[in-house]
Amino acid sequence: MTRAVDIAILGAGAIGQLICRQLTAAGEHVGFIARDRQEPLSLQDSQAQQYSQSQKLSFTPLIASDDSHSPQPIDYRVPIIAANALDHIRLVIVCVKAYQVIDALLPLFHQLPRQCHILLLHNGMGPHLALAPLIEKMESRGLSLGTTSQGVLRQARWQIKQTGKGLTQLGHFTGIELAEHYRSAILAAIPNSEWVDTIVPCLWQKLAVNAAINPLTALHQCPNGALAKTDFSAIIEGILDELVTVAAQDGVPIDKPLLHDRIYQVIQLTAANFSSMHQDVAHQRQTEIDQINGYICERAQAHGLTTPINAKLCQQIKQLTVAT
């Protein structure tokens, strides 16, 4: 009998498909959770249900540094798992947009096995605070968090191209810790990945990069590299000052000079790229501003602080989104 899928990915965007490809290539049994939960599969056997639908995907790997030829796309198939066929799932990796996490995950919460572990892997912060009490209440479930800087371009609905390497950091947040088998499997499958003892500071550091780059590139309709101009230095400093102050109140001390250098390193390394928020605004999609700069403002309010620079950026992005 074919081994049941035990790792499910919620969210088949660019990052979701990249993680799926990496786990599949490493021999893990992975599937996507079906988006349409109004039409569950009709088969009785849950394992048969898992394999009764599948999706063809296409993945183009990075060009090797010693290879002058463009790599050819790799086609493969992945099971699509119905919401009523989650009995075998032991790990769900959530790769939807930050503002979609709660609405996408909660309907599945009590259909997943009680011992199923949840791993959030998205930009921005916030959903982990809403999920933590629910995870802790169940006692047998755990929540891990992650961040990745891997570059990937979604060329079509089920077609992606990897565009850059990057660090992936994962770590435990609350509840039962992720089983060693799955932790090792993820680290073996994802290049340049690491398990860290305290993941929240890593998320704040990634948040700082996004908070500086995303709204400014969206507002000024420019690629990331344009932010290296001195015209932007003062506002980047302001964003960072507010973030460092708020993070400290949250119990997360941050080395500002190191973080400053990291932001400008990312600006340089991704100079020709357009940020996700730039693309969301350009395509008239909802942005993750509330989970990026808005999260800084939210945590500031919890401590009786104000963050006028980040608050203004939130307002400007929302006005821009409405205007488009």
CATH assignment at residue 259 = 1.10.1040.10
Judge whether residue 311 has pLDDT over 50: yes
Which H or E run contains 7? strand 7-10
**pLDDT, tens digit, 9 for 90 and up, residues 129-167:** 999 999 999 888 999 999 999 988 899 999 999 988 889
pLDDT range class, residue 65, cuts 50, 70, 90: low
Mean pLDDT of the chain: 91
What pLDDT does 138 receive?
Answer: 87
Q: What is the mean pLDDT of residues 264-290?
A: 92
C-alpha–C-alpha distance, residues 254 and 283, integer Å: 34
- Distance of CA 157 to CAs 11, 13, 160, 213, 221, Å? 12, 8, 8, 26, 25
Question: Of 100, 80, 89, nearest to 39 (Cα)?
Answer: 80
Return d(Cα 208, Cα 295) in angstroms, integer.
11
Q: Is residue 120 situated within a structural domain? A: yes
pLDDT at 70: 79
Tens of pLDDT, residue by residue over 227-261, are 999 999 999 999 999 999 999 999 999 999 999 99
**Residue 2: inside a domain, yes or no?**
no
Higher pLDDT, 150 or 39: 150
pLDDT score of 163: 86
Hey, what are 7's tokens? 């790792």
pLDDT class of 67 with cuts at 50, 70, 90: low
Whether residue 48 is found in the same domain as residue 190? yes
The percent of residues above 70 in pLDDT, for the chain, comes to 91
pLDDT given at position 50: 43
The position carrying tokens 């190191």 is 258
Query: Which CATH number covers residue 35?
Result: 3.40.50.720
Whether residue 74 sits in one domain with residue 163 = yes
Do 156 and 231 fall into the same domain? no
Q: Which residues pair with 32 in a beta bridge?
A: 9, 80
Catalytic residue among 56, 97, 161, 206: 206
Q: Does residue 256 sit in the same domain as residue 166?
A: no
Largest distance between two CA atoms of the chain: 63
What is the arithmetic mean of pLDDT over 15-27?
97
Return the DSSP state at 123. S
Instruction: State yes or no: is 206 an active-site residue.
Output: yes
Query: Domain limits at 119?
Result: 7-197
CA dist., res. 136 & res. 134, Å (int): 6
Q: Are residues 70 and 157 in the same domain?
A: yes
What radius of gyration, in Å, describes the C-alpha atoms of the chain?
Answer: 20
Looking only at the bridges linking them, the beta strands covering 91-94 and 117-121 are parallel
Q: Does the pLDDT of residue 265 top 60, yes or no?
A: yes
Q: What is the mean pLDDT of residues 4-32?
A: 96
Q: Do 23 and 172 reside in the same domain of the chain?
A: yes
Number of domains composing the chain: 2
Q: 69-88: per-residue pLDDT in tens?
A: 778 999 999 999 998 899 99
pTM: 0.91
Assigned token pair, 177: 């810790």
pLDDT band at 221 (very low <50, low <70, confident <90, very high): very high
Query: Residue 323: pLDDT band by 50, 70, 90 thresholds?
Result: low
Considering the domain architecture, whether residues 22 and 113 belong to the same structural domain is answered as yes
182 phi/psi in degrees, rounded to 5 = -75, -35
Provide, rounded to the nearest whole percent, the portion of the chain with pLDDT above 90: 80
Digit-coded pLDDT (tens) for 293-302: 999 999 999 9
Q: Is the dihedral of CA 122, 86, 153, 172 positive or negative?
A: positive
The domain boundary residue, chosen from 169, 197, 225: 197
67 and 155 share one domain? yes
Q: What is the pLDDT of residue 9?
A: 98
Residues 13 and 141 in one domain: yes
Region of residue 277 (phi > 0: left; psi between -120 and 50: alpha; otherwise: beta): alpha
Tokens of 145: 């968090």
β-bridge mates for residue 169, sequence order: 147, 194
* Domain final residue, candidates 142, 170, 197: 197
- Given 197, 225, 260, the domain boundary residue is 197
The answer on pLDDT for 179 being more than 70 is yes
Q: What is the pLDDT of residues 183-219, one digit of tens each?
A: 999 999 999 999 999 999 999 999 999 999 999 999 9
